[in-house]
Each structure stands twice: as structure tokens, then as C-alpha cells.
Amino acid sequence: MPSESLHSEAAARNAALARIRDEHRALARVLEALETVAAQIAESIIEPDFALLASMLYYVDAVPERLHHPKEDRYLFAALRRRRPEAAALVERLEREHQRSGVLVGELERALVHWQGGAPDGLDAFVVALSRFCELSWAHMRAEETELLPQAEQCLTDADWLAMAEAFAANVDPLFGVQRQHEFERVYHRIANLAPRKLKLALLKPASEQSGH
């Protein structure tokens, strides 16, 4: 049965949008941490902490790649393709980026293993792989927030939003969720103690917020 809290169209729509945006912001925080830690290592400010980096990559693989992206494909993208055929090109591009993201995560994980194993160019290869992954991820989330979601708000039905809200509500975030898993404690505290966050998160604001409405 549908959740009591999702009975109205507005409640289901707001719950789905809030969850999608929350998951974007969680990934953004991990991306910022990865970029900052890698830069500090490259500049010899800190020593490599492979366990910390591995935990961050595990999070990226376990949550965005295995939970968030598949549900966007199944519920958000599929619904928008049905309701607004003219959005097909955008949806197809974002679907390809989901596939590309998974490939880049795999490359990043292999680069970390090679670096930890003593490869002479290990750090440089990891930094290059991280740059590719982060560049795609920032651009992808920005396109979803500023191009895709505004269109979804205009044309999706009550049933679309309800299915999406219930699907995303089942996601459990082991890092930023209500019950943080023990293996992510160090990641959480490292992120919390980093220098002031970058301005990149401003790029992820919904279009309505960017226009001041």
C-alpha cells in the first residue's frame, strides 16, 4: 500500500524530488572530499590514506552507482520519456552517462589498487582517473538538476511521482543516513573536518532556486 505520507500529488512529488536532490548532495560531498584529499596528497600536504580513499570509492560504487542511478533509469528517465517524447535526446544522453560513470568508477578503483601496490605512476594515474570521473559526475548532476528535473515537474503524473517516491525511499545511505554504518565513520569525520566546501554545490541548485523564485 502507498505510504500515508505520500497520498497527495504534492507530497509524492516533493518526497521524490527531495530524495533525488539529497542523494546528489551526498555524492557531491564525497566528490569534494576525494578531490581535496587527492590534491593534498599530490601536493605532499598529507600522506596517502588508502583506507580512506577506498572507503570513499566503495561509497560511490555502493550508493550512487548501484542504488541511485538504476532507480533514476527505471523511474525518472522512463517516466519522462513516456510523458515528454521531445526530452528523449536528453534522457538518452543521461542514460549513457550513467553507463560511462560505472566504467569510470571501475577505472578509478583499479588505479587506486595499482597506486597502493607501488606502481611508479600510481598517484598520477589515480589523479587523472579521478578527474575524469568527477568531471562527468559534476556535469551530469548539473544537467539533471537544471534540465531534467524541471521538465519532470511539468509533465509527470501522480502515479509517476508516487512510484518514484516509494522506490527512492527504500534507499539506505550508509554514510549520510540516519544510521551511519561503522565503516564510514572515518569518511564522515574527514568530510566534516575538511576546509570550507567549494562553490560547486551551487551548480546543483534546482533551477527555481537559481532564478530566485
119 backbone φψ class: left, alpha, beta (φ>0; ψ -120 to 50): beta
Predicted confidence at residue 197, as pLDDT, reads 62
Predicted confidence at residue 5, as pLDDT, reads 56
Predicted confidence at residue 8, as pLDDT, reads 65
Integer Rg of the chain from CA:
18
The 3-class secondary structure across 127-166, one letter per residue, is: HHHHHHHHHHHHHHHHHHHHHHHHHHHHHCCHHHHHHHHH
Q: Counting Cβ atoms within 10 Å, is residue 126 exposed (0-12), middle (13-18) or buried (19+)? A: buried
Predicted confidence at residue 194, as pLDDT, reads 77
Please list the pLDDT of the chain residue by residue as tens digits (213 residues): 445 455 566 899 999 999 999 999 999 999 999 999 999 999 999 999 999 999 999 999 999 999 999 999 999 999 999 999 999 999 999 999 999 999 999 999 999 999 999 999 999 999 999 999 999 999 999 999 999 999 999 999 999 999 999 999 999 999 999 889 999 999 999 888 875 565 555 555 544 454 443
- What's the distance, CA 57 to chain centroid? 12
C-alpha cell at 1: 500500500
C-alpha closest to that of 60 among 154, 156, 175, 143: 175
CA distance 126 to 106: 12
Contact predicate 162/56, CB 8 Å: no
Q: Choose the CATH number for 7-206 among 3.40.50.970, 3.30.470.160, 1.20.120.520, 1.10.3720.10.
A: 1.20.120.520
Report residue 170: phi and psi, to 5°.
Answer: -80, -15
Domain ranges of the chain: 7-206
CA distance 9 to 5: 11
